[in-house]
Structure 1
Amino acid sequence: MRKLTFIAAAVSIALLGGCQQMTEQKSTQTVQVQPVQSEIDKANAFFEDTFNRDVMSSPIYQTYMGIKKDYDKWDDGSEEKALKDLQQTKDDLVALNAINRDLLDENTKVSYDLKKQDLENSIADFKWRYHNYPVNQMFGVHSMIPAFMINQHQVSDLSDAKAYISRLNGVTTVIDQLIKDLETRADKGIIAPKFVFPHVIDSSKNIIVGAPFEKGEDSTLLADFKRKVDALEIDQAEKDSLISDAEAALKSAIKPSYSKLINYLAQLEKRADDRDGAWKFPDGEAFYNNALARTTTTDLTAKEIHTIGLAEVSRIHDEMREIKDKVGFKGDLKAFMQFMKTDKQFYYPNTAEGKQRYLDEATAMIDNMKTRLDELFIVKPKADLKVKAVEAFREKAAGKAFYQQPAPDGSRPGIYYANLYDMEAMPTYQMEALAYHEGMPGHHMQIAISQELEGVPKFRKFGGYTAYIEGWGLYSELVPKEMGLYEDPYSDFGRLAMELWRACRLVVDTGIHEMKWTRQQGIDYYVNNTPNATSDGVKMVERHVVMPSQATAYKVGMLKILELREAAKVKLGDKFDIREFHDVVLKNGAVPLNVLETFVDQWVASKSAA
């Protein structure tokens, strides 16, 4: 399946060239030449047309955008479509190069540079299109299908319900294309490590458990369909007919397709080994270096990132020792971490009541932050934010917490998902930092505002750069501390524990993919240096393995935002306004870190001159 830019962080570096004002000299007067409006119009039309074309070529993309034109279809995941998309990208680059950049205004030049670099990177990275695992424990087609149908395919009328059924029937082709993709990778020597297979096979089996596949409670998809159809204002006979058609599709398409995938994965597992790093791929070193450049939007090497990580781990350990002494704990940091990891006061019971209490308190923290946003921001998002537990069918393999962006038209709120499968992996002292990172003032603040920006091309509103997006999320864990929150020292320890986790990611990601660490070496590093549950360490290392470079984005991005903020404070002194700084960071949408630095420098210069 295609990686979609609206949900996967875009992997591009945009180089923003310096722009000099065009002037004419007449006698002693300097007259500024105005930008040629037609060229600006041409550029903006190009951005709009190519974005809309890409949306309309992807039924999945359409649904995320709230468009129902191809509501009954899936994306084409064939190699033929990938080659066609590559040619389209090359044609787009030719068309963009035909636009005279010198005749654009400053905002359009930014869009031009970002788009050009994105196109160039897409073309350059096409050779790496098989250097990934399309089925893994973090994400994949197998889990995307039910998650997408449950969370994205809304049923507002009869036609929507029929489209749902059509999509169930269309899964046969989707799974066939997936298996072909997996086999192509296997022929190239790209097979996920052995640990991946039990996760994905188990998740796939969960989809075909329950009615109508067997007696018992409704399966995940049937329960979802029934719930949505029951809410329609149509007569019962129509509802019964729809449900009958859905059951038929589940039995004739979903069951055989997932059974075929499960059988294929069982055979592929026999060909897998325990090598974990990207170094095992064809040209693995070059692939990983390219992945780091795309993820961080910097030129930092793997060794430099590893060294930064080690230094940050040491600094955070020192700050943790200060909290340990503040609460009067007798013992060293390792003993304090063990206390935080095991003491029952920090964990809610693994019951429905315990999980609901967690959701209620996380919601209260976000609601409190909503009342204080004026202290930090000039512009605030219109879209609402909800807190929700990860669904049962995917909670075992899903990450600790994550964010799902709202629909652009406001029909669906942003969602902060908390994974409550293992309550021992969700200590209460980390609740506050998680809520701020995934919700407010973190991902929801940044992503919802980006979607709501005016005067910015859609490809910038809905695209993304991982270091910027996740750097903002991690930065947003620190900002509440500066506002006087994290009043409980244990909660402040939780904030540091979350930051420590991201610092360890720099060490372990580069360790696995550059230095050939084993999975167990990575797990041991997390267990020995953090207060997190061992299960957290296992999940995180397994995430490193299937998503090379991605986890380095958080800390690299946060450090850059802090660096820019502190430099601005020094230069502006009393003129520095945190609300204005945040406005500069957010008002252009997600951008590469070097471009963000340009924006901040320009803001500082204009404030200094005022």
Structure 2
Amino acid sequence: MILRLPLLAASAIATTLFATAVPVVAAAAPVATPASASEPVSEEDKELLELFRQSDEASLRRNPLNGLFRGDMRYADRLGDYVSDAYMAAEKIAVESDLGALAEIDRSKLNPTNQIAYDVFKWQSELNLKGFAPDLLATTVVQPVDHFQGFHTFYPSLASGEGAAPFKTVADYENNLKRHRDYVVMVDRWIERFRQGMAAGVVEPKLIVNNMIEQIDAQIAQGVEGSIFYGPVKSFPADISSADQQRLRAETAAVIRDGIIPAYKRFGNFLKTEYLPAARDSVGLVGLKGGDRLYAHLIEVHTTLPLKAEDVHQLGLQEVARITAEMEKIKTQVGFKGSLAEFFVYLREDPKFQPKNAEWLRDEYFRIGKRVDQRIPEQFTLLPKSPLEIKAVEPYREKSEAGGSYQSGTPDGSRPGIFYFNTYDLKSRTTPGMETLYLHEAVPGHHFQISLAQENEALPAFMRFGGNTAFVEGWALYAETLWKDLGMETDPYQRFGGLSDEMLRAMRLVVDTGIHAKGWSRDQAIQYMLTHSNIGRTDATAEVERYIAIPGQALAYKIGALTILRLKDKARKELGDRFDPRAFHAQALDTGALPMTVLEAKIDDWIQRTRAGH
């Protein structure tokens, strides 16, 4: 694992252009009971749950931001470490201790849900332990941040007054100030780590460094009162006294002026004068010392399967060819006479496929959401209680963000889930595919999967709040395949947009492995995406630079979705008339994000029980 951010949602939260709550599904829809609610509890079950509880409590002390994202404020006065040797050592000791305690529990005496929890905990712990191998750790700790998932992009949103950190009481504001002081220390530790990497010959690509420099300079340029960190003190709850307001405003300005901005200047100057000249020209892990071993590990981390890069690359090529054939059919259907490449240009450049303005984009997503809600009960009985909001990505981060993203809410619904849409460079945001994007990021994609896991109190915390990319993103991509069942993509251009999104995930298999295992350049990767899809250059550039920053993550979407589709097809064939998509979806969603091997074992067991009439 790359220990760059705590194990929480990596998307930043901050001030938004538009913010309106929308209902997710009709309130009258039936809700299934969590699988473990009525299961027997043995002494072994109790031992396992106690192990999970102790492990989670210890993890929250080491990783306090995880608690803050859950709404647990016990450790909200600290940011956490995440960078030092002491932190790494403590994390490794904790994993080894957890595995030792787990081995003492007889799995065969656990109830079915806890057997799944046992398997997930074992899989995750063993994979985490692999990440602490000396050769892997030597390549990860010396690259503590990058332009896509660095604390310098995540933390400002957290602290903005519009993010996960609450600002309801004086204590909330004081906790924020304490976290700011920790943040200043953290920024200086990044410099230390990067210098260690320079000495070892393990450095980031120049492309990533230049992007980070631009991000840091942009935040410095905000000044004090224009800083996103100043956001919480621009307004206060009515019950905070005038004296406290004045004091907190002054202290916030002081920590920005005397702490954060100077730290940013030190970091930015280091990147410009020392690190950039030493950074590498290559963009893939294939050009990094120890990069091949790291990439193999990251493929397993993100897909949950020990796949070979070459096999993934070939699968991607096959999927690109299949989807291209489907695109040709749509092109013929709408009567376009040119080549597919010309059709891509037509969709990218014709004004009728561009949003009229940001407000229109927002309103259209509301309309899409209402249409989806009407059909959800046909496919789902297990529904989240958490509300969903639709918001535009904030201007300070919109340039490097994707067209859409999701930020999870809190389990109690006090902070809703958020579907973000991007209004940057509107001419590059084509309207075909908007329906598919909503299915993926919102309903029934990320919002369903993440919210249902969090809300299921029968699950241990690591399954409610943790997960793996293959399931989380695989489910969201699988949700796109429900377009016909949910009344979406009735227009051929919207269907083409759906194919375009599927093509994006297929191209990722080709491009990510091309960059990190075959030595593809940034421009080569961008051109491949432009040639095989109607994605705009702005989005293609952001996508490729994301793959460069977080190797292997982009592979998980297609690998996870193909696994879920294969299991659904298997269930349909074996169950025949007994197959109910609502029951399949409940089985897939009621135990959180499972590794692919654990998910397959669970579905196989469900198929056998259903055939037996249980």
Q: Bigger CA drift: 495-504 or 153-162?
A: 153-162
Which of 456, 464, 469 aligns to 2:467? It is 464
Which of 221, 229, 236 aligns to 1:221? It is 229
Specify the SS of the correspondent of 2:289.
Answer: coil
Q: Bigger CA drift: 440-449 or 46-55?
A: 46-55
Change (3 A) 1:101 1:608: closer
Which of 159, 179, 184 aligns to 2:191? It is 179
Aligned to 1:7: 9
Counterpart CA distance in 1 for 2:128 and 2:307 is: 21
Aligned to 1:367: 370
Structure 2 residue 404 is matched with structure 1 residue 401: yes
Structure 2 residue 359 is matched with structure 1 residue 387: no
Structure 2 residue 287 is matched with structure 1 residue 275: no
Structure 2 residue 295 is matched with structure 1 residue 288: yes
Which of 346, 351, 355 aligns to 1:348? It is 355
Which of 138, 141, 157 aligns to 2:151? It is 141
Which of 536, 556, 560 aligns to 2:559? It is 556
Aligned to 1:316: 323
| Post-superposition CA distance 1:87-124 (Å, at most 9, x none) | 22212221221222233222222212221222222122
Contact residue 392 and residue 421 of structure 2 kept, 8 A = yes
Which of 79, 84, 104 aligns to 1:74? It is 79
Aligned to 1:159: 171
Contact residue 89 and residue 122 of structure 1 kept, 8 A = yes
Per the TM alignment, residue 190 of structure 1 is displaced from its structure 2 partner at its CA by 2.2
Change (3 A) 1:522 1:145: same
Counterpart CA distance in 2 for 1:58 and 1:289 is: 27
Counterpart CA distance in 2 for 1:152 and 1:537 is: 29
Contact residue 8 and residue 464 of structure 1 kept, 8 A = no
Contact residue 380 and residue 586 of structure 2 kept, 8 A = yes
Aligned to 1:48: 53
Which of 180, 186, 201 aligns to 1:189? It is 201
Amino acid in structure 2 at the alignment position of 1:317: T
Structure 2 residue 389 is matched with structure 1 residue 377: no
Amino acid in structure 1 at the alignment position of 2:542: K
Counterpart CA distance in 2 for 1:135 and 1:235 is: 39
Which of 304, 309, 313 aligns to 1:306? It is 313
Specify the SS of the correspondent of 2:433.
Answer: helix
Per the TM alignment, residue 484 of structure 1 is displaced from its structure 2 partner at its CA by 3.1
Structure 2 residue 587 is matched with structure 1 residue 581: no
Instruction: Normalising by structure 2, report the TM-score.
Output: 0.90
Change (3 A) 1:398 1:307: same
Structure 2 residue 479 is matched with structure 1 residue 476: yes
Contact residue 191 and residue 270 of structure 2 kept, 8 A = yes
Amino acid in structure 1 at the alignment position of 2:240: I
> Alignment identity in percent?
34
Which of 101, 112, 129 aligns to 2:137? It is 129
Contact residue 285 and residue 514 of structure 1 kept, 8 A = yes
Amino acid in structure 2 at the alignment position of 1:142: H
Structure 2 residue 94 is matched with structure 1 residue 88: yes
Contact residue 6 and residue 464 of structure 1 kept, 8 A = no
Specify the SS of the correspondent of 1:428.
Answer: coil
Amino acid in structure 1 at the alignment position of 2:335: G
Aligned to 1:253: 259
Change (3 A) 1:255 1:5: closer
Structure 2 residue 568 is matched with structure 1 residue 565: yes
Counterpart CA distance in 1 for 2:300 and 2:182 is: 37
| Post-superposition CA distance 1:368-413 (Å, at most 9, x none) | 3223221111110011111111112212222332211111232211
Structure 2 residue 130 is matched with structure 1 residue 120: no
Amino acid in structure 2 at the alignment position of 1:328: G
Per the TM alignment, residue 8 of structure 1 is displaced from its structure 2 partner at its CA by 6.1
| Post-superposition CA distance 1:504-563 (Å, at most 9, x none) | 000111111111112121111101111111122211111111111110111111111111
Per the TM alignment, residue 165 of structure 1 is displaced from its structure 2 partner at its CA by 2.2
Counterpart CA distance in 2 for 1:129 and 1:8 is: 21
Counterpart CA distance in 2 for 1:334 and 1:608 is: 48
Counterpart CA distance in 2 for 1:600 and 1:153 is: 38
Specify the SS of the correspondent of 1:371.
Answer: helix
| Post-superposition CA distance 1:259-314 (Å, at most 9, x none) | 11111111211111221111223332222112112221223321111111111111
Per the TM alignment, residue 51 of structure 1 is displaced from its structure 2 partner at its CA by 1.0
Amino acid in structure 1 at the alignment position of 2:395: A
Contact residue 169 and residue 250 of structure 1 kept, 8 A = no
Counterpart CA distance in 2 for 1:596 and 1:322 is: 34
Contact residue 386 and residue 413 of structure 1 kept, 8 A = yes
Contact residue 138 and residue 399 of structure 1 kept, 8 A = no
Amino acid in structure 1 at the alignment position of 2:108: D
Specify the SS of the correspondent of 2:279.
Answer: coil
Per the TM alignment, residue 366 of structure 1 is displaced from its structure 2 partner at its CA by 1.8
Aligned to 1:107: 113
Specify the SS of the correspondent of 2:181.
Answer: helix
| Post-superposition CA distance 1:458-515 (Å, at most 9, x none) | 1111111111111111111120223332111111111100000110000111111111
Structure 2 residue 499 is matched with structure 1 residue 499: no
Specify the SS of the correspondent of 1:555.
Answer: helix
Contact residue 433 and residue 477 of structure 1 kept, 8 A = yes
Unaligned runs of 5+ in 1: 10-33
Structure 2 residue 436 is matched with structure 1 residue 433: yes
Counterpart CA distance in 2 for 1:431 and 1:162 is: 41
Aligned to 1:17: none
Counterpart CA distance in 2 for 1:588 and 1:210 is: 44
Contact residue 502 and residue 551 of structure 1 kept, 8 A = yes
Change (3 A) 1:237 1:422: same
Aligned to 1:25: none
Specify the SS of the correspondent of 2:484.
Answer: helix
Counterpart CA distance in 1 for 2:226 and 2:9 is: 30
Aligned to 1:420: 423
Change (3 A) 1:474 1:58: same
Counterpart CA distance in 1 for 2:137 and 2:66 is: 19
Change (3 A) 1:2 1:287: closer
Specify the SS of the correspondent of 1:484.
Answer: coil
Amino acid in structure 1 at the alignment position of 2:201: G
Counterpart CA distance in 1 for 2:441 and 2:316 is: 22
Aligned to 1:27: none
Per the TM alignment, residue 36 of structure 1 is displaced from its structure 2 partner at its CA by 8.2
RMSD of aligned residue pairs (Cα, Å): 1.9
Amino acid in structure 1 at the alignment position of 2:76: Y
Unaligned runs of 5+ in 2: 12-38
Counterpart CA distance in 1 for 2:455 and 2:258 is: 42
Counterpart CA distance in 2 for 1:331 and 1:81 is: 58
Counterpart CA distance in 2 for 1:249 and 1:416 is: 32
Amino acid in structure 2 at the alignment position of 1:6: L
Report matched runs for 1:590-601 at 5 Å: 590-601=593-604
Per the TM alignment, residue 434 of structure 1 is displaced from its structure 2 partner at its CA by 0.9
Per the TM alignment, residue 209 of structure 1 is displaced from its structure 2 partner at its CA by 2.5
Specify the SS of the correspondent of 2:165.
Answer: coil
Q: Bigger CA drift: 383-392 or 187-196?
A: 187-196
Could you say which structure has the larger radius of gyration?
A: 1
Contact residue 74 and residue 174 of structure 1 kept, 8 A = no
Contact residue 80 and residue 182 of structure 2 kept, 8 A = no
Which of 219, 225, 236 aligns to 2:242? It is 236
Aligned to 2:541: 538
Amino acid in structure 2 at the alignment position of 1:149: A
Counterpart CA distance in 2 for 1:38 and 1:389 is: 50
